[in-house]
Chains A and B, each alone.
Chain A
Amino acid sequence: MSHAPVTVALETRPLEWPEAARKQVEEALTHYPNRRSAVLPALWIAQRTWGWIPPGALRLVARTVELPEPEVFGIATFYTMFNLQPVGRHHLQLCMTVSCSLVGADRLYEHLRRRLGIEHGETTPDGRFTLRKVECLAACGNGPCMQVNEDYYENLDEAAVDRILERLK
């Protein structure tokens, strides 16, 4: 897959699951006949807990599902939605695939990069926004579409995007 190379932040603080997250992980483990299958749920819980997946969380997930750390690293890097680098509070993920492109996604991306002063993969200096071009979000009939963290925003134009940015403090 053609992703940007991943560099691991130098962050060695050991992490433990906070109580609420630990309960979620334990619940996830009951869904499968082995611990390994809970690796994606555990990575999701880690990302929701810390906003991204710091190296300490990767090690915690590896311990939790009883897999070698490099293996968990290999899994986490395979999937595009796991953030192994910190992202802004609002992760703007704009679909650029064909259907959205046919109804103006490229114009919207241009608008966003000018408005925020950042390019694909970058974060504003105040840590508020990260901008990313992504592939199809299954919102083709309501394009252009942007996912912000876990929420979908559809039928977008420049004015709608501006209103959304205002609201996301």
Chain B
Amino acid sequence: MSRGPLLFKDIDTPGLAGLEVYRGLGGYEALAEVLAKMSPDDCIEVVKASGLRGRGGAGFPTGLKWSFVPKDTPKPKYLVCNADESEPGTFKDRELIEKDPHLLIEGMILAARAIGANVGYVYLRGEFAWIQRILDRAIAEAYEAGLLGPSVAGTGFRLDLYTHLGAGAYICGEETALLSSLEGYRGQPRLKPPFPAVEGLYRCPTIVNNVETLMNVPGILANGAAWYRQWGTEKSPGTKIFSVSGPVRRPGNYELPLGVPLSTLLNEHCGGMRDGFKVKAVIPGGSSVPPLPASLLDTPLDFESLNAAGTYLGSGGVIVIDDRTCIVDALWNITRFYRHESCGKCTPCREGTYWMAEVFERLERGRGRSSDIDLLDEVADNILGKSFCPLGDGAAMPVMGAIRHFREEFEYHVTHRRCRVNRRREELDALRSAPSAVEVTA
């Protein structure tokens, strides 16, 4: 059964990761023709016209980004695929590469040709060593078949592709930190401008695109912008892969046209909530974006509608929080993540995430003060927009959003010195008070 209109159309086909099956389904079929008939500028124009926006989180228009690469430079140019997928709630790129690595390679060939790059890197998060092996095998197959190397598909265009493994650092998903890491430095972000398109890897023009973004390119260039625009909305064309997690019946990745209501994703595709659970809040775009309360579940999942609802499409990582989960506890968990992952370069982010976690702990332990909620909001506001990269914004926005929508539940912690609900804590307390039923191994 097909799981989606584009990237997920054939995703569960057995053996798709191998070149033969991929080709059998039409893979690489249009490649030589596109390379022969379309100039690099034509390719950029078509991607611009398609309205494709980055699928990694920031949503920057892809064709526009490509057009920023200077054409008259003697420097080499680089294409980098961001497969650092580390945004909590997001797990789409790993399924895409694991099952369909040749589509990524085909997308990278076309993107590299459009921007004039002869070398490409795929930066995978360190935990994805097993996915690196799958992609390395596919790359080796592509070299053998003459689809990579000195003359891609016999066109004379040269492209070498390499995979590069990170080693455990969320910050390396931020494009300038990723480039620092790829160059062999600590993965810390750089000030923009200059933007990577002008001065990126090894101070050369570099385009960094997300896995899902690059995988949309072959379809767009083979079939045209109008074809791609049959999915999605006028301003948010195409499909998006939504990664759904939390206590729903069928969590997982779903490819849907942009603009589908959040409630349709959760009820029709994910089968609703597990028995005994109701939705309290949904974080629609990975842990860095503000949560939506249950009253806004009809919000269409596209860039503009989510912005109007006070949040973001982000990476499409949809985290469902149920009514028996304490919202303060959930946000404390998220804040600990950012405290751990802050690279330490900018004071507002490094110190702010620490202090937010301290205040959350106080509230959760029943020691909160009446001024703490405003204090949290103020600390978050002092991180927002005041650091080099968006990691700090990602730490601040969910906290500010949670206070906006669930202030009453925060206040309950101060007035009652405990959570209103907290099934996580209850389960843990029950387990701890039970006699030890398990024996120590060893």
Contacts and interface: CB of A to CB of B under 8 A. Distances in A.
B184 A43 contact: no
Contacts of A135: 88, 170, 337, 340-341
Nearest to B130: A150
Contacts of A31: 121, 162, 164
B343 interface: yes
Nearest to B169: A79
Interface stretch (B36-44, B261-269, B295-303, B426-434): B426-434
Interface in B307-345: 317, 319-322, 325, 330, 333-334, 337, 339-344
Contacts of A96: 333
Contact of B322 (A39, A102, A115): A102
Interface stretch (B63-71, B240-248, B379-387): B240-248
B184 A37 contact: yes
B165 A99 contact: no
A154 B20 CA distance: 29
Interface string A86-127: 000000000011110111101100110011110000001110
B243 A97 contact: no
Contact of A40 (B184, B251, B252, B334): B184
Contacts of B439: 115
Q: How large is the interface on A (under 10, 10 to 19, 20 to 34, 35 or more residues)?
A: 35 or more
B86 interface: yes
A44 interface: yes
Contact of A138 (B127, B334, B340): B127
A125 to B, nearest CB: 6
Nearest to B161: A31
Interface stretch (B89-97, B151-159, B189-197, B227-235): B89-97
A119 to B, nearest CB: 13
Contacts of A79: 126, 166-169, 187
B88 A97 contact: yes
B438 A114 contact: yes
B130 A98 contact: no
B202 interface: yes
A117 B442 CA distance: 9
A104 B396 CA distance: 26
Nearest to B252: A141
B164 A98 contact: no
B343 A1 contact: yes
B349 to A, nearest CB: 11
Contacts of B167: 40, 43-44, 79-82
A118 B243 CA distance: 34
B62 interface: no
Interface string A23-53: 0000000010110111111011000000000
Given A37-B184, A41-B165, A101 B243 contact: no
A75 B438 CA distance: 40
A21 interface: no
Interface size class of B (residues with CB under 8 A): 35 or more
B371 interface: no
A107 to B, nearest CB: 6
A107 B91 contact: no
Contacts of B244: 141
B245 A143 contact: yes
Interface string B79-104: 00000011111110110000000000
A147 B442 CA distance: 21
A115 B341 contact: no
A98 B336 CA distance: 10
A65 B170 CA distance: 25
Given A124-B442, A141-B243, A1 B344 contact: yes
B12 interface: no
B187 A44 contact: no
Contact of B319 (A99, A142, A165): A99
B169 A142 contact: no
A114 B436 contact: yes
A118 to B, nearest CB: 9
B29 interface: no
B130 A151 contact: yes
Contacts of B341: 1, 135
Interface of A: 1-2, 31, 33-34, 36-41, 43-44, 65, 67, 74-75, 78-82, 96-99, 101-104, 106-107, 110-111, 114-117, 124-126, 128-129, 134-143, 147, 150-152, 162, 165
26 contacts: A1-B342, A1-B343, A31-B162, A34-B202, A41-B164, A44-B129, A44-B165, A78-B187, A79-B166, A101-B333, A102-B245, A102-B246, A102-B320, A107-B428, A111-B431, A111-B438, A114-B436, A115-B438, A125-B442, A126-B442, A128-B441, A129-B441, A135-B170, A140-B91, A140-B251, A165-B441
Given A67-B184, A99-B319, A107-B427, 13 more contacts: A1-B344, A2-B340, A34-B202, A40-B167, A75-B184, A79-B168, A98-B319, A102-B320, A102-B321, A116-B442, A136-B170, A138-B93, A141-B91
Interface of B: 85-91, 93-94, 121, 125-130, 162, 164-170, 181-187, 202, 243-247, 251-253, 287, 317, 319-322, 325, 330, 333-334, 337, 339-344, 354, 424, 427-428, 431-432, 436, 438-442
- Can you list the 8 inter-chain pairs with the closest CB atoms, starting with the nearest? A79-B167, A80-B168, A81-B168, A140-B245, A99-B245, A36-B184, A141-B251, A78-B186
